[in-house]
Amino acid sequence: MDSVKEIILQTKNVEYIKNSLGKEQWIQVSGHKNMNGANAIFWCGLVSIEHIEDVYHNISWDISANEQGCPGFQGSGSGYQYKANLLKDGFESILYYREFYGVEKNYIELSQEFILLNNLRYNTVSKSYWAMYENGESEEAVKYIDDTTIQIKMKFLRNYSAAKQMALLLFFDIRTEFDGKTSDYGVEEFNYKFKDDDLLYGLWNGDMNLPAYAYSVLMGKKILMPAPIEECGYWPYEKEETYENFIIGVDESGKEILHTCNPEELNNYFGVNIDAPMYLTPVFFKREVLQKYINKPELYEVKDGRLSCQSLWSIEIDNHHKNCIAVYLGDLGRDLPESERGYWKSYNIVGEEGISEVSFQRDFCNMFSESNMEDHRFQHTYGSLIKQWNEKFGWDLYLPLSAEDQYNLTQIRIPLGNSQPEFDQLVLALVKVLIDSLNEKQLIVPGNEQSDIKGISKLEKWLQSNEVVGYEEHITFLRDLQKLRSSGTGHRKGKEYSKISNTFGLSEKSKIDVFESILKKTNAFLKYMKDTFLD
């Protein structure tokens, strides 16, 4: 009996709207929700500061699904005026209830101004809106639980409120129903009203006769005043940019020397900040710093001398060392988004090498310099072989990769570390693009059109039929690579893997050096195909 009485009095719901509503990370702004045995309905909107007093006149909703501020005409027989918003002066909607009277399904639409200001993108799979940031990462901002139930992350509402300098109104209507009469549960009739600076509500109960049931209603609104416009977070009121300090060397006692990457505080070779480090001071990082970007090929691209995030940002990198990555100090501040600098700082090390010879020739001598890294050479040679082969013969030596498989090509690289999983993954990717993607339908030997041979053996027969020389060592390498994949990633590792591991020298050399050697042989094979058939 006491629990029913508590539900009728809506004790927990009153506590919620006083202490929690508007303070959660996610706020439900429309639709139904079961709350402590009651059925709750929510809505939201905005009111200008000049009209804030209108909100306190009564507990009823100023904006609702029925009165949502759609455009239309207003007036009387003496004259009508078109208005973009038919709400009372000073009020604006964030949500619009779209009704199609049973012909089509009803749904709630977000204000386009809210969507555009936050540059939100709709994801049809998750049925949610996402905000995108300068580093390319996304954050979920709006969730559709169903067509008429929406949750919005509170920070986006508060930022929107601050930008418009309008108070945010959170409306609630929470109702309970019970069989019988309220007196059956030891509750007398009540009718409370509460008014505070940020909260206005009424709480009352009663009995209905047809049909007979007892009820209570908790209705009102939470008023959240806007933060100063300077705190809205939109341009030109974005927070002031901060810059990390990076290790740029060590002093005579071996202590690390750190300096800001802020370009405005660096020597720019023209007499500015003459006592500061040069803009082009190299800063060094563990190669593992690139793992984050390699793991998201749909967003980032790592190539010879550059890291980029679609068209959002890019930065020159010296990735011509096997043991580290180098970036110029000034570029870290100018070209790397602020949100990425902390991540890079966690991989910052004291550089034991200077910039690579490749970067020195490119950056300081203004000379073309081919990369010294086998993975960069592979990407260039593989791509040019495919293009030139098709131009000459009219068919593809390697079948184009699907969008879902493209990452197998772009991720092929000198390993970032010495881990077995990374090595296995790279071997698997290389076999997919080098062996599994061979265009076997075109590798036809006259007289053997119906032959059952496939893959490497088919390539070998095709090479023999063309009476070329010097292919044997390349075929042997491809077969060894296939065995390394089959015994290492395709099945449990056992005796066969131990045998083929010895062939590649895995027991004597690091996995970084072994895969570099594999890429070197891969490049030799690709060059052999180009020299033999294209040049």
Q: What is the pLDDT of residues 236-276, one digit of tens each?
A: 999 889 999 999 999 999 999 999 999 999 998 888 899 99
Task: Name the domain boundary from 185, 201, 231.
Answer: 231
Q: How far are the Cα atoms of 49, 229, 323, 523 from residue 373, in angstroms, in the given order?
A: 62, 51, 12, 11
Task: Copy the structure tokens of residue 535.
Answer: 């040049």
In a domain, 240, yes or no: no
Answer whether residue 368 is part of any domain. no
353 lies in the same domain as 405: no
Q: Are strands 95-98 and 91-93 parallel, antiparallel or unpaired?
A: unpaired
Instruction: Examine residue 445 and state whether it is found in any structural domain, yes or no.
Output: yes
pLDDT over 50 at 27, yes or no: yes
Instruction: Decide which of 193, 209, 231 is a domain's last residue.
Output: 231
Query: Rounded mean pLDDT of 435-453?
Result: 83
More confident residue, 492 or 459: 459
Paired tokens of 195 = 């008014």
Tens of pLDDT, residue by residue over 192-222, are: 999 999 999 999 999 988 788 889 999 999 9
Are residue 356 and residue 212 in the same domain, yes or no?
no
Are 324 and 455 in the same domain?
no
Position 188 in a domain: yes
In whole angstroms, give the CA distance from residue 52 to residue 54. 5
Final residue before a domain boundary, out of 313, 339, 363: 363
| Residues 169 and 142 placed together within one structural domain of the fold | yes
Domain membership of residue 209 (yes or no) is: yes
Helical residues (DSSP H) of 373-446, grouped into ranges: 374-393, 407-410, 420-431
Residue 16 lies in a domain: yes
352 lies in the same domain as 443: no
Whole-number Å distance between alpha carbons of 399 and 161 = 53
Whether residue 280 sits in one domain with residue 388:
no
Task: Count structural domains, the chain.
Answer: 3
Same domain, 106 and 188: yes
Regarding whether 60 and 194 lie in a shared domain, the answer is yes
DSSP letter string, 68-93: ----EEEEETTEEEEES--SSTTEEE
237 within some domain: no
Domain that holds residue 284: 245-363
Q: What angle do CA 330, 334, 337 make, to 5 degrees?
A: 125
* pLDDT tens, residue by residue, 100-157: 988 999 999 999 999 999 999 999 999 999 999 988 889 999 999 999 999 999 999 9
Please tell me the predicted confidence (pLDDT) of residue 416. Answer: 92
Q: Closest Cα partner for 433 from 383, 364, 476?
A: 383
Let me know if residue 369 belongs to a domain. Answer: no
Residue 487 pLDDT exceeds 80 = yes
Residues 213 and 255 in one domain: no
Question: Is 306 in a helix, a strand, or coil?
Answer: strand
Q: Is the pLDDT of residue 182 over 90?
A: no
Task: Let me know if 61 is exposed, middle or buried by CB neighbors in 10 A (0-12, 13-18, 19+).
Answer: buried
Q: pLDDT for 273-317, tens place per residue?
A: 999 999 999 999 999 999 999 999 999 999 999 999 999 999 999
pLDDT of 449: 62
Residues 292 and 150 in one domain: no
CA-only gyration radius of the chain, Å: 34
191 and 325 fall within a common domain: no
Q: What is the pLDDT confidence band of residue 2, given thresholds at 50, 70 and 90?
A: low
Together in a domain, 187 and 83? yes
Percent of the chain with pLDDT over 90: 78
Residue 25: strand, helix, or coil: coil
* pLDDT at residue 446 is higher than 50: yes
469-477 average pLDDT score = 95
Q: Give the residue from 221, 119, 129, 107 showing the smallest Cα distance to 160.
A: 119
Nearest-angstrom CA–CA distance, 464 and 290 = 42
* pLDDT at residue 516 greater than cutoff 70: yes
Three-state DSSP state, 165: coil
- Whether the Cβ atoms of residue 465 and residue 447 lie closer than 8 Å to each other: no
- Which residue reads 């027991």 in tokens? 507
pLDDT tops 70 at residue 173: yes
